[in-house]
């Protein structure tokens, strides 16, 4: 049970109505043209909630600023935050 505020003798209580903060760490490859590929879920705060899979899908559709000075892929990690 979470307490939002205590007002005198009354406590305002939030049960299931409050959304839970969630996060997922996603690792991907970035190509020199800015495309994102090979994303995998590294960790998530609420396993089984589906948020980690959605985070991977969302990051996979992203586009980065091109870095044409190299031919190799670069790995990067990002944290996706949200609420359930």
pLDDT in tens, 18-56: 678 999 999 999 999 999 999 999 999 999 999 999 999
Residue 11 has pLDDT above 50, yes or no: no
- Between residues 80 and 3, which one has the greater pLDDT? 80
CB atoms closer than 10 angstroms to residue 78:
16
Q: Which residues of 23-49 are buried (b: 16+ CB within 10 A; e: fewer)?
A: ebbbbbebbeeeebeebebeebeeeee
pLDDT attached to residue 41: 98
This prediction's pTM: 0.74
pLDDT attached to residue 49: 93
Q: List 40's β-bridge partners, or say none.
A: 27
User: Cα(29)–Cα(33) distance, rounded to whole angstroms?
Assistant: 12
Q: Helix, strand, coil shares of the chain as percentages rounded to 5?
A: 10, 50, 40
């Amino acid at each position: 049970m979470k307490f939002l505020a205590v007002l005198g003798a009354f406590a305002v209580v939030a049960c299931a109505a409050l959304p839970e903060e969630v996060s997922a760490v996603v690792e991907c490859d970035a190509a020199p043209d800015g495309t994102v590929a090979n994303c995998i879920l590294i960790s998530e705060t609420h396993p089984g909630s589906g948020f980690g899979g959605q985070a991977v899908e969302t990051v996979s559709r992203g586009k980065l600023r091109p870095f044409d000075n190299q031919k190799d892929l670069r790995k990067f990690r990002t944290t996706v935050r949200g609420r359930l």
